[in-house]
Amino acid sequence: MDLLIDVPVLVAAKQKMPMIKVLVEDPRAGEVRVKMFASGVCHSCLHAYDGSHATPMPMILGDEGSGIVESVGSGVTTLVPGDHVIISWLLNCGTCPPCRDGKPAHCWAPSPFGALLDNTQRFKNAETGEPVLHYGPATYAPYTVVPESSAIKIRKDMPLDKAALIGCSVTTGFGSVTNAAGARPGESVAIVGCGGVGLNAVQGARVAGANPIIAIDTSDAALQMAKKFGATHLINASRDDVVAETLKICPRGVNHSIAAVGSTKAMQNGVEILGSGGTMVILGAPPNGAVLEIDPIFILGKERGIRGSKYGSSNPHVEFPMLIELYLAGKLDLDSLVTGNYRIDQSNEAFEILAQGGAGRGLITFEQ
């Protein structure tokens, strides 16, 4: 049976999202419908909202969320109604070789932007019947439909509001250090950009035993949060020369830099602070068309490297439960990440605060 929801819908870039009545269809074969509990407010959605990333419309945003399975489609074997889940924003097939290998970011199935895997929508405007597009898992919808493989079952004693953050920023940041960079105890890690993702890269470095952990940002508030999450040194890029200050701390350069902000200037710094054999991991997404200029000799001479990391190079089915265990053991801080709480009809306000560079993460919780 279709469910009627009130949901913010992106209808034009740089414009507030109106609350629109939308019908949510039943899950089809291999899909589940989830009653959302909470959704984080992510920079990638802000890029759609502010027009810096071209986005088809009308669209329901949201790529970081948690909830409770409400119903399941035919053939679903791993989930039942009532299961608590974190939504993975990778709508992957779960069956191709990379998916089987635990690398869903490399899934071979075409992942149509704005739709589920069969290239159709489960949302339609309740008045006009017009399809409404999915931004990945569309976690701003009070009820959403995702493939079974994108709803990861978690323990029921994990608070669902905190769990939501694991769906994007925590996993992306943490995994960039532990999976993509593969930082080892005692290695130096510099995190350029300490927003929601960067703070979790700092946490990943702390849990990995990295030292020093250098946090770089243009906001003192973000840097103070980074210190709380484990940064040993802070550099304010709006006042100080990032490369010179980093080289004072690590005269031979750092082992790993993490570019956790979509700024090519930050990425330039991230490369220039690399030591011998050091690698920069790119996490942040710059606006469409941005170009990074690199001196190939600098890369070649000391075997430096640059790589991308999508979703913390993680396998959400393994990573999400592991991060929950770390949280419940007191080794991962999710509580301090949330700096703003919103209702779903306040999502425009949440974006505006995120755009101003507010420290930490905004969290939308749904009426239950």
Which residues of this chain interact with Zn ion, rule CB under 5 A?
42, 44, 63, 92-93, 96, 99, 107, 109, 168
Answer whether 165's CB lies under 8 Å from 139's CB.
no
CB of 168 to Zn ion, least distance (A): 3
91 C-beta neighbours (distance < 10 Å), count? 23
Nearer to Zn ion, 30 or 253 (CB): 30
Q: What is the CA radius of gyration of the chain?
A: 20
Question: What is the C-alpha to C-alpha distance for residues 285 and 279, in angstroms, rounded to an integer?
Answer: 18
Nearer to Zn ion, 19 or 109 (CB): 109
Angle 322-179-78 (CA atoms, 0-180°, nearest 5)?
40
CB of 97 to Zn ion, least distance (A): 8
Is the previous residue joined to 212 through a cis bond, with omega within 30 degrees of 0?
yes
Nearer to Zn ion, 60 or 210 (CB): 60
How far, in whole angstroms, is CA 84 from its chain's centroid?
Answer: 19
230 C-beta neighbours (distance < 10 Å), count? 18
Question: What is the C-alpha to C-alpha distance for residues 141 and 201, in angstroms, rounded to an integer?
Answer: 28
CB of 275 to Zn ion, least distance (A): 30
Question: What is the C-alpha to C-alpha distance for residues 12 and 290, in angstroms, rounded to an integer?
Answer: 23
How far, in whole angstroms, is CA 164 from its chain's centroid?
Answer: 10
Nearer to Zn ion, 227 or 310 (CB): 310
CB of 149 to Zn ion, least distance (A): 8
H or E element, residue 174: helix 171-175
Nearer to Zn ion, 232 or 309 (CB): 309
CB of 200 to Zn ion, least distance (A): 11
CB of 128 to Zn ion, least distance (A): 29
Nearer to Zn ion, 96 or 126 (CB): 96
Rounding to the nearest 10 degrees, give the CA dihedral for residues 78, 328, 168, 85: 30
Nearer to Zn ion, 63 or 70 (CB): 63
Question: What is the C-alpha to C-alpha distance for residues 168 and 112, in angstroms, rounded to an integer?
Answer: 19
CB of 100 to Zn ion, least distance (A): 8
